[in-house]
Amino acid sequence: MVFDFSGRFRGTSANGNLQAMNAAEMKALSHQGNPSHEQLIEMQSAQQSMRAAGARNNIEVPKVNFYPSRHPDPRKARKKDIKQARTLLKPSKRSFFNPLRWAGFKYRYNKSAGACVVDGCDCQKLIQYDNLYAKITDEGTGESLWDMYWQNPVTGEPTAFIARENVTDGRLMRGTYCPEHLHLYHLLSKWESENEKERLKTKGGMREMVKKGVSTVAVPISVLKKKNNTPEFLLKYEPFFVELEKDSKRHAGITITHYKNPNNGMNDITAVYFDLRYFHEELNMMPTDVGISDAIGSIGVEQVERQQVQEQNIPQQQYTLPQQ
């Protein structure tokens, strides 16, 4: 798809052409407007494919001048892009002073299903040379325009996409869209869908749905506060167990075991094990000027006098606390 950025996008590339942009310029442009980086890549691919098909087969191909909005607000940028896309996708009309317009032939390219209603491109001839509809894909699903718009969903037979008088609604035309215009139509449908989802989240959108008899009740289960059955005299140990939970994930020397009641599934006994064998292994991996007290203190565990540990010669220390 050709993007003539002259004036409006001055400095993005040498000639303002999307197909002439490099990866860095494409990435920068994706952060300045509504289209995502993946959508811009698909636009560039569509543009390059159309130019290559025209040069290879010596046929005329259309050029779509679409200027993505650079508004800093994503919602306003999307609205501007939607408005511009709808303008570019409206079927071309005859001149107001053309007698054919008043004779019932209002639209210029509305003769057959093989012609684009915007630029009159012979899509049937273009498909014979190179089916670009099958090469231009959605950046998210990977489906091609041919699969989404040019195939009957029931029979799977090739069926031309029929454009509408007001782009997304209105009377059906006789013509279709060329690959570039159809890709822009696909992006327009996605942008309008995103816009509608955001609108329904507002108070006005919710009131509108209620008037239609549709109501949605959202219950954030994840933020519901659970009842705490821990006895009050054990609540003072809660910060201690919070630190243990964190350190047990980083150190093999700390193990927390929960013994559940087989009848009701609740925790009857919670046992915490400090295995000094793992602490010694971690100590040996540390620099020589670091003592075991520093190693134990660094993980937030209550220190025990080293001399007392050696006298008792107990490899494990066990603390058992009941907790619901």
Crossing angle, helix 23-30 and helix 37-57, to 10 degrees?
130
User: Average model confidence (pLDDT) for the chain?
Assistant: 75
| Residue with tokens 């303002």, as numbered in its chain | 16
Q: Mean of the pLDDT values across residues 101-127? A: 87
Q: Mean of the pLDDT values across residues 114-136? A: 86
Are residues 115 and 147 located together in one domain of the fold? yes
Count of structural domains within the chain: 2
Inter-residue long-range contacts of 202-211, CB under 8 Å, 24+ positions, other chains counted:
none
Cα 139 from Cα 293, distance rounded (Å): 56
Higher pLDDT, 178 or 156: 178
Are residues 201 and 256 located together in one domain of the fold? no
Is pLDDT at 83 greater than 90 in this prediction?
yes
What is the band of 299 on the pLDDT scale with cuts at 50, 70, 90?
Answer: very low
Q: Cβ distance 71 to 81 under 8 Å? A: no
What φ, ψ does residue 320 adopt, rounded to 5°?
-120, 125
Range of the domain at 297: 229-321
260 part of a folded domain: yes
Are residues 139 and 92 located together in one domain of the fold? yes
Inter-residue long-range contacts of 133-137, CB under 8 Å, 24+ positions, other chains counted:
133/179, 133/182, 135/45, 135/49, 136/42, 136/45, 136/46, 136/49, 136/179, 136/182, 136/183, 137/42
Are residues 82 and 148 located together in one domain of the fold? yes
39-75: b (≥16 Cβ within 10 Å) or e:
bbbbbbbbbbbbeebbeeeeeebbebebbbbebeeee
Q: Mean of the pLDDT values across residues 265-285? A: 78
Are residues 95 and 196 located together in one domain of the fold? yes
Quick one: CA torsion of 281, 284, 285, 287, rounded to 10 degrees?
150
Is pLDDT at 324 greater than 50 in this prediction?
no
pLDDT digits (tens, 9 = 90+) for 23-43: 777 777 777 777 877 888 887
Is pLDDT at 90 greater than 90 in this prediction?
yes
Position 319 scores a pLDDT of 45
Residues forming beta bridges with residue 116, ordered by sequence position: 176
Are residues 70 and 203 located together in one domain of the fold? yes
266 part of a folded domain: yes
Q: Cβ distance 67 to 84 under 8 Å? A: yes
Q: Cβ distance 290 to 238 under 8 Å? A: no
What is the pTM assigned to this prediction?
A: 0.58
Are residues 45 and 140 located together in one domain of the fold? yes
Is pLDDT at 110 greater than 50 in this prediction?
yes
241 part of a folded domain: yes
Closest CA to 34 of 90, 84, 73, 86: 73
Lowest mean pLDDT among 249-253, 258-262, 314-318: 314-318
Higher pLDDT, 268 or 90: 90
**What is the SS3 assignment for 31?**
coil
321-to-234, 257, 271 alpha-carbon distances in Å: 9, 11, 7
Higher pLDDT, 232 or 322: 232
Cα 64 from Cα 30, distance rounded (Å): 19
Position 220 scores a pLDDT of 58
Are residues 157 and 260 located together in one domain of the fold? no
